[in-house]
Amino acid sequence: MPRIPLLSGTGLVVASAPDDAVVVGPPPPHAHVADIAAAVRDALRFPLEGRPLEALAREARRATIVVEPPVLPIPSVPTDPRQTAIAAVVAELERLGVQTGWQTILVAGGFGRRLSQRELPALVTPELARRFHGRVVVHDVEDPELAELDGFRVSPALLDTDLVVVVTSAETVLHGGPAALVGAAGRDELRAASADSLLETRGSGGWQTAAALERALGRRVPVVGVSVVLNHPVVSGLLRGYPYEPEARERVARTPLRLAFNSLPGIARREVLRRLPTEVSVAAAFAGPPSVVHAEALLRAVELRRAELPQPVDALVVGIPGTAPLVPRERPNPLLAAYLGLGLALRLWRDRFPVVDGGSAILVSRFVRHFPHPTQRPYRAFFQGSWSPRDPEMLAAAEQSVGGDERAIEAYRRGETVHPLLPFRDWDACRPAQDRLGAVLVAGARDASAARQLGFVPAHGVGAALDLARGQGAERIGFLLCPPYFPLRVGR
């Protein structure tokens, strides 16, 4: 009977899988670019489409560089390649005559917590943080001074400039590329950012909104995008080679260090994982119109990072890490755990959903109602509300009420917490998976009432959850080894 190691929270869970289980893991990282800055410079000089940066910047005196907080990939890394890419764009603009004093870095964080001045230097290289003399603007969704742009409400920094450069990585259709422009828009644009699959533009309202916003902005000011293709994160130490190499999976499952590690207090395990050396490299860089280069980079990323699933499984086991998809990296509450499994891992598919219609998803998570204060305060309010997340009418009424909560909005604007609408958007991101699934089981749930409140079925462990899934007719069981989260190409 195979033993499958899964990351759950800050611990390692070893599941006993049936002999015919389908174990799906990402491929090892591919060859990487040795000089990221040179790759970005070359991309700007030879774009996939449109004019090179030199021609666009010829008449520009001011430039706005749009970046995103490093929410993805998970796990995060101390030295992010996007820092080097941003520095290369700043240097190239300087070379073309746009000095740093006339450059603006716009942090398009959307509904996420607004970064403080103390956190902003982490977005760029230390060298650039020391010498940059321009403005750094952290987007405020609720800013009354948002500018009107052909029916969109956007940050004034996108219009009060002569050139816009979007610097992101190719993660999903809702993360990176033109989606960064949506992250610098108003609440209506952000709530429209939906997608059934995070890897297909078809059926993605978020992609359509982003492309329309890019076209509208392009009619006012030149817009160019830089998209880098990131390889999977590589972790050293105890998890060396996991989850890419079958030998590493076997080593992690059998090592006695696993028992010693799991016996540590949660805060100690979190510190050990934080200190594990982790690296992310760049496989390629592209430049041109943001939607064009992001689509090309995303296709390249899918080909490099994807795993094949010949056909959908009846039940899929997904480990939920102890890292929230937010900045700062904190412990995920139950809603964020659901988002990681259903809204992220189970939306990274192409061609077909990885679970048969009416099948089961098994989330391996402790599902504890822990809400770091004050950063996750709106999630606490979501759980304490008198509405049912499974009732669309009650949920819509609750969202309308929360969206007018002035105290919660002011806390977001001060950078204390996320926007009060973010929990609703995260829950909405789980809907495409839930609409296809018959049941969502939470293996190892410590807070059964939290699981039931979301309409999930709590189970004591993976074995008990598998028994429940088999009782519902599941025969073909799959195990998804993550993080990192990776694309799935599912056969028809």
Mean pLDDT per 10-residue segment, the chain (492 residues): 80 83 89 93 96 93 96 86 96 95 96 92 93 95 96 96 97 95 95 92 90 96 97 83 84 76 75 80 96 96 93 95 89 95 96 96 93 92 80 86 92 96 95 95 93 94 92 92 91 78
pLDDT computed for residue 239 by the predictor:
77
**Delimiting residues of CATH 3.40.50.11440 domain(s) in the chain:** 36-230
Backbone angles phi, psi at 324, to 5 degrees: -75, 150
Contact between residue 473 and residue 439 where contact means Cβ atoms under 8 Å apart: no
Q: Does domain 36-230 fall into CATH 3.40.50.11440?
A: yes
Residue 265 confidence (pLDDT): 79
Bridge partners for 330 per DSSP: none
Give the per-residue pLDDT at 336. 96
CATH of domain 3-27+241-278+306-490: 3.90.226.30
CA–CA dist 125, 136 (Å, integer): 14
Position 1 scores a pLDDT of: 59
Considering the chain, tell me which residue range(s) the CATH 3.90.226.30 domain(s) occupy. 3-27+241-278+306-490
Quick check: helix, strand or coil at residue 231?
A: coil
pTM of the shown model: 0.94
